Amino acid sequence: MTTTEIVNKFATVDAAFAVSSADLAEAISRVGSTAQDVGVSLDQLVGLVTAAQQTTARGGSVIGNSFKTIFTRIHRTDTLDQLEQMGIKVRDLQGNALPAVPYRDWE
């Protein structure tokens, strides 16, 4: 993905929702590498940040730090074990952690 494509995504979201490109950039700069580590795509992350900002009216830095904390903790063994005890499927058949944000093909 090129820088131009990323800027275009941000501008599109900025125009359609109550989130600024600056807030998106700030959030993604704080959580981007952690999100990538847990299998969250850029499009998914932009959607999560947009939804969080529209719902909470918090800034990009707060949202980015919050998702970084969530993504860091969600794949810990003790967290996965607790979620499984509650009946939530968090591992595949090989025992690997499922993605933090499951991909859904809407087409």
Q: Give the tens place of pLDDT for each residue, 41-74.
A: 899 999 999 999 999 989 999 999 999 999 999 8
58 vs 87: CA distance, rounded Å: 32
Question: Residue 96 has what DSSP assignment?
Answer: P
Look up residue 16 and give its two tokens: 């359609």
Q: Which pLDDT tens digit goes with each residue over 20-36?
A: 999 999 999 999 899 98
Integer CA distances (angstroms), 38 to 51, 89, 90, in order: 19, 16, 12
pTM for the model stands at: 0.82
For residue 84, count other CB atoms closer than 10 A to its CB: 12
Report the pLDDT value the prediction gives residue 107, as an integer from 0 to 100: 44
Helix (H, G, I), strand (E, B) or coil at 54: helix
